[in-house]
Amino acid sequence: MEDAVEHPQRYTIAAKQYLLVEPSDYGIPPQVTDSLLKLQAAGMTPIITHPERNAHLQRRPERVLEWVEQGCLVQVTASAVTGSWGDTTCRIAQWLLEHDAVHVLASDAHNE
């Protein structure tokens, strides 16, 4: 985290401003919002990747809305929207879409 703040171009997509951030499947630490703010203060735009597939965020999807309000973007896997990841993931992906909290639809083609 500290190195990313000091050297954003090492971590961002094409050395520009966008940084993919994947929440842990094991838990969402309370300081994550502060960490996202630090990344933004360093000139990066965090893109929260597939929160619809994260069990912790499935239970509290409003957290994703909070991050969007603070300036983060959200990437959802397209196959989640169509139901390939199951009913819960599809429901959360649809909920995020309905709340204007999806900015990128990803193919997830690297798994094919």
Domain ranges, residue 71: 17-22+30-107
The total of structural domains in the chain comes to 1
Question: What per-residue confidence (pLDDT) applies to 99?
Answer: 98
Whether residue 1 lies inside any domain: the answer is no
Residue the block writes with tokens 């994703």: 64
* Residue 18 predicted with pLDDT over 70: yes
Query: Which tens digits make up the pLDDT trace of 70-97?
Result: 999 999 999 999 999 999 999 999 999 9
Residue the block writes with tokens 């960490």: 35
* Residue 108 predicted with pLDDT over 80: no
Distance CA 92, CA 58 (A): 6
Question: What per-residue confidence (pLDDT) applies to 112?
Answer: 55
Query: Which tens digits make up the pLDDT trace of 19-77?
Result: 999 999 899 998 999 999 999 999 999 999 999 999 999 999 999 999 999 999 999 99
Q: How confident is the model at residue 107 (pLDDT cuts 50, 70, 90)?
A: confident
Question: What does 42-111 look like in DSSP terms, one character per residue?
Answer: TT-EEEEE-GGG-HHHHH-THHHHHHHHTT-EEEEEHHHHTTTT-HHHHHHHHHHHHTT---EEE--GGG
Whether residue 47 lies inside any domain: the answer is yes
Whether residue 6 lies inside any domain: the answer is no
Task: Tell me the CB-side half-sphere exposure of residue 30, using CA atoms within 13 A.
Answer: 0
The H-or-E segment that residue 20 falls in is strand 18-21
CB atoms within 10 A of CB 40: 16
